[in-house]
Amino acid sequence: MVADMSSVKIRKQCMILVAMALLLWGQGRLFAAPVVSVSTLPLHSLVSLVMKGVGEPTLLMASGQSPHHQSLLPSTIRKIAESDLVVWVGPVHESSLSRAVQQVENEAIIMTLIDNPQITRLPSRRGGIWDEGSHSHESDDSENHSEGGHGSLSVDGHIWLSTDNAKSIIEVVGKQLKEMDVENKAAYKRNMDLAYQRIDRLKRDLKDQFAHVRKKDYLVFHDAYQYLEAEFDLRPAGVVAISPDRAPSAKTLRNLRQLIEKINDDNQSVCIFREPQFKSSAITILDENNNVITSELDPIGIGIERGSDLWFKLMYDLGAALASCLATKH
């Protein structure tokens, strides 16, 4: 009798344990987020915003370098192969990922943002200040492919540097995730709504910031800021490196010096913005004997902690650096 009682008890306990295990297993499966991998830091940040509380996207490109310079690592190929969803700008900006992305095209959903009709695209700037001294590599096809967005490819790939595009990226990624992961639909929706509000606030703040500065002439290291400039009505005087892959030619440097001297003759200084991921002795040369203020712009957030806040910090930092230099009198 005693033995019977305890065996019933044990059986009961076993059943409870099995039920609990099933419940936990079921929940785990039910609420597991899709495996999402994202090309660069700013896009990774926007996707992290959408996935907050649900899962963590994987970053594909090394965070300390410019996407223009990277080569494809075996670990990156592995990460792409393990993904359910891959989010990238496209070959125009992250050419090194192209081959690996093509390989998984049938097994994963590939979201090529530059081809998405909801994303605003601007043509690469050509001619005049954007081309000086660049004639020698016009015909050099292999170079153009490695440049990613700065060579013969006609679309500017720096699409994340616009608040409107950031909202569109959140929208298209969020829509895709809601379809792939119905159980977490409400969480994605909530995250998307919060992200839109934060982006609207950022846009208002940047508008205010730029409204109060004089529109001074400035030079950027490479032509990455067209989307930001279009949105906030900023006009650069030129670009130091036509391609981020190579030093500016002697002719380009001569033209830039002339441009700076002309602006200086009008009793105005020129802001020149370097970038943390590129060494540029050219900027040091332009600095000599001229009325130049140098500062730094970081279009991909190399120095910022990765995660959902990175993109906001990146945009506020760009705004602060531009506004403070442009606000300098004379």
**Among residues 224 and 239, whose Cβ is nearest to Zn ion?**
224
Nearest approach, Cβ of residue 297 and Zn ion (Å) = 11
What SS3 string covers 119-166?
A: CCCCECCCCHHHCCCCHHHCCCHHHHHHHCCCCCCCECCCCCCCHHHH
Nearest approach, Cβ of residue 94 and Zn ion (Å) = 10
Phi, psi torsion values for 86, nearest 5 degrees: -120, 125
Nearest approach, Cβ of residue 158 and Zn ion (Å) = 6
**Among residues 51 and 297, whose Cβ is nearest to Zn ion?**
297
**Among residues 231 and 275, whose Cβ is nearest to Zn ion?**
275
61 binds Zn ion (CB under 5 A): no
Report how far Cα 115 is from the mean position of its chain's Cα atoms: 16
What SS3 string covers 189-244?
A: HHHHHHHHHHHHHHHHHHHHHHHCCCCCCEEECCCCCHHHHHHHCCCCCEECCCCC
> 98, 77 in Cβ contact below 8 A?
no
Nearest approach, Cβ of residue 150 and Zn ion (Å) = 6
If binding means CB under 5 A, how many residues of this protein chain bind Zn ion? 1
- What tokens appear for 268 in the block? 């105005």
> 234, 210 in Cβ contact below 8 A?
yes
3-state secondary structure of 64: coil
Nearest approach, Cβ of residue 55 and Zn ion (Å) = 29
**Among residues 162 and 209, whose Cβ is nearest to Zn ion?**
162
> For Zn ion, which stretch binds (CB under 5 A), given 105-113, 160-168, 217-225, 314-322?
217-225
Q: What angle do CA 35, 39, 40 make, to 5 degrees?
A: 125
* Residues 223-242 close enough to bind Zn ion by CB under 5 A: 224
**Among residues 46 and 51, whose Cβ is nearest to Zn ion?**
46
Nearest approach, Cβ of residue 206 and Zn ion (Å) = 20
Nearest approach, Cβ of residue 224 and Zn ion (Å) = 4
> For Zn ion, which stretch binds (CB under 5 A), given 100-108, 169-177, 207-215, 218-226?
218-226
- What tokens appear for 111 in the block? 């979201």
**Among residues 156 and 181, whose Cβ is nearest to Zn ion?**
156
3-state secondary structure of 31: helix
**Among residues 167 and 222, whose Cβ is nearest to Zn ion?**
222
Cα–Cα distance measured from residue 243 to residue 142, given in angstroms and rounded to the nearest whole number: 13
**Among residues 108 and 158, whose Cβ is nearest to Zn ion?**
158
Which residue sits closest to Zn ion, CB atoms considered?
Answer: 224
> For Zn ion, which stretch binds (CB under 5 A), given 29-37, 127-135, 161-169, 219-227?
219-227
Nearest approach, Cβ of residue 306 and Zn ion (Å) = 19
> 312, 280 in Cβ contact below 8 A?
no
Rule CB under 5 A: which residues touch Zn ion? 224
